[in-house]
């Protein structure tokens, strides 16, 4: 199926690893030119160069912490000076948390609020004008199944991702008159480096292997019985970025192998 994305311009935050990098590669295979945003300058530049060389599209890296408004302005300036317009924005930067509500201080709550919610608010304010210049576009926010089905050890992550889902709905209503479609994707078990790192920590000094731990997590939670690869998930992002999903507006899509135990 031709997605008609060739020549489009996309920004991906958290674009140098995991889901963000997989989405970048999938879009590049469709001919999309990229601006990858991440905190690690060496890694984001390296991945952008690799994508350019192997997939034949223009890809640039921007060192930016999305919790820092000044860094997001730098991101906007790079997009404008390099491409002059924008078609796709993937708000993907984020990470899990581990705390209790009683013990977490205000600073920790604020950090994750800025990372998962305010970063998406600020990128919209800064980059939507470039989408309007292009005549429309697509914004996809990466939330989580935990926004609806929370995990007990990360209440801040659960709460901020739930807020991101509502933000996406509100933004979709505001921007659809400008031909800008906003949707949210809430993944379940995706085998990212973060999951492997966590598994390594939890199985250290035990008889359980990392692979064995992850296999048990998948079989205990997802009816499909396994994690998805970032590449599997990325295919869904590509579809929602395309005109094939032209009637998808303001929705939240679970890609979770059946893990969610309720229906909307």
Q: How far apart are CA 189 and CA 256, in angstroms?
A: 6
User: Where does residue 249 rank: exposed (0-12), middle (13-18), buried (19+ CB within 10 A)?
Assistant: middle
Q: Has 167 been annotated as catalytic?
A: no
**How far, in Å, are 145, 164, 189 from residue 261 at the CA level?**
10, 21, 14
The phi-psi region of residue 255 (left if phi > 0; otherwise alpha if psi is between -120 and 50; otherwise beta) is beta
Q: Which of 157, 167, 213, 254 is catalytic?
A: 157
Q: How far apart are CA 35 and CA 27, in angstroms?
A: 11
Among 3, 197, 161, 175, CA closest to 89:
175
Active-site residues: which are they? 157
């Amino acid at each position: 199926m031709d997605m008609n994305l060739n020549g489009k311009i996309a920004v991906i935050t958290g674009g140098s690893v995991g889901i963000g990098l997989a989405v970048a590669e999938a879009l590049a295979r469709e001919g999309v030119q990229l601006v990858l945003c991440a905190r690690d300058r060496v890694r984001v530049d390296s991945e952008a160069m690799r994508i350019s060389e192997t997939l034949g599209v223009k890809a640039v890296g921007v060192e930016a912490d999305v919790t820092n408004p000044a860094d997001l302005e730098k991101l906007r300036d790079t997009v404008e000076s390099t491409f002059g317009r924008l078609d796709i924005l993937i708000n993907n930067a984020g990470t899990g948390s581990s705390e209790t509500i009683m013990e977490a201080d205000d600073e920790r709550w604020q950090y994750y609020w800025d990372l998962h919610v305010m970063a998406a608010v600020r990128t919209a304010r800064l980059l939507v004008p470039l989408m309007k210049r292009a005549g429309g576009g697509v914004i996809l926010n990466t939330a989580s199944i935990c926004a609806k089905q929370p995990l007990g050890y990360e209440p801040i992550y659960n709460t901020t991702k739930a807020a991101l889902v509502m933000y996406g709905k509100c933004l979709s209503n505001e921007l659809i008159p400008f031909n800008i479609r906003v949707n949210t994707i809430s993944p379940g078990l995706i085998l990212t480096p973060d999951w492997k790192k966590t598994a390594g920590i939890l199985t250290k000094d035990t008889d359980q292997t990392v692979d064995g731990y992850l296999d048990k997590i998948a079989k205990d939670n997802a009816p499909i019985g396994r994690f998805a690869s970032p590449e599997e998930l990325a295919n869904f992002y590509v579809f929602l970025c395309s005109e094939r999903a032209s009637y998808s507006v303001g929705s939240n899509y679970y890609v979770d192998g059946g893990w969610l135990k309720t229906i909307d």
